[in-house]
């Protein structure tokens, strides 16, 4: 049973054309994260939401935005995708920011974004 669901699994867009990736969760977790993962590299955190509080990583380009309209859904918007933005985008959730009992993050399958 998928608990963190990302749609679509594969997304193709054109250079400069805005694209939105979606993530939903059935865990009722407070925290949702977006990562960018390039080939054979570790995931790189872009930003996260704690409830409605948005936290951007210092080195995340302005081209990347996020929305969280409710607890279950979180979106990643890329305003003007460049060739360097082609990557796997991972969504993850966590019950809280504190590691009570070592609560890990739960990851989705990812969306692989290609730029033409």
Partner 1 sequence: AQRVTQPEKLLSVFKGAPVELKCNYSYSGSPELFWYVQYSRQRLQLLLRHISRESIKGFTADLNKGETSFHLKKPFAQEEDSAMYYCNSWGAGGTSYGKLTFGQGTILTVHP
Q: Which residues bind partner 1 (CB under 8 A)?
A: 31, 33, 40-43, 45, 48, 50, 90, 92, 94, 96-99, 101-102, 104-105, 107-110
**Strand ranges in the chain using DSSP code E only, listed in sequence order:** 4-7, 10-13, 19-25, 31-37, 44-50, 53-56, 64-67, 73-78, 87-94, 106-107, 111-115
Closest distance between partner 1 and the C-beta of residue 35, in Å?
9
Closest distance between partner 1 and the C-beta of residue 13, in Å?
22
Q: With beta carbons less than 8 A apart as the criterion, state whether 34 and 43 touch.
A: no
68 or 81, CB closer to partner 1? 68
Residue 105 neighbours by CB distance under 10 Å: 18
10 or 83, CB closer to partner 1? 10
SS3 57: coil
Closest distance between partner 1 and the C-beta of residue 102, in Å?
4
Cα-based angle 96, 22, 30 (whole degrees, multiple of 5) = 15
Closest distance between partner 1 and the C-beta of residue 2, in Å?
9
75 or 109, CB closer to partner 1? 109
């Amino acid at each position: 049973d998928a608990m963190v669901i990302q749609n679509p699994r594969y997304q193709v867009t054109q250079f400069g054309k805005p694209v939105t990736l979606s993530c939903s969760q059935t865990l009722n977790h407070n925290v949702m994260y977006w990562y960018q993962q390039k080939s054979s590299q570790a995931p790189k955190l872009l930003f996260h939401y704690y409830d409605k509080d948005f936290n951007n990583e210092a080195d995340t380009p302005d081209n990347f935005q996020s929305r969280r309209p409710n607890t279950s859904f979180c979106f990643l918007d890329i305003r003007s995708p460049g060739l360097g933005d082609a990557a796997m985008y991972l969504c993850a959730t966590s019950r809280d920011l504190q590691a009570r009992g070592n609560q890990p993050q739960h990851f989705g399958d990812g969306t692989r974004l290609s730029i033409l």
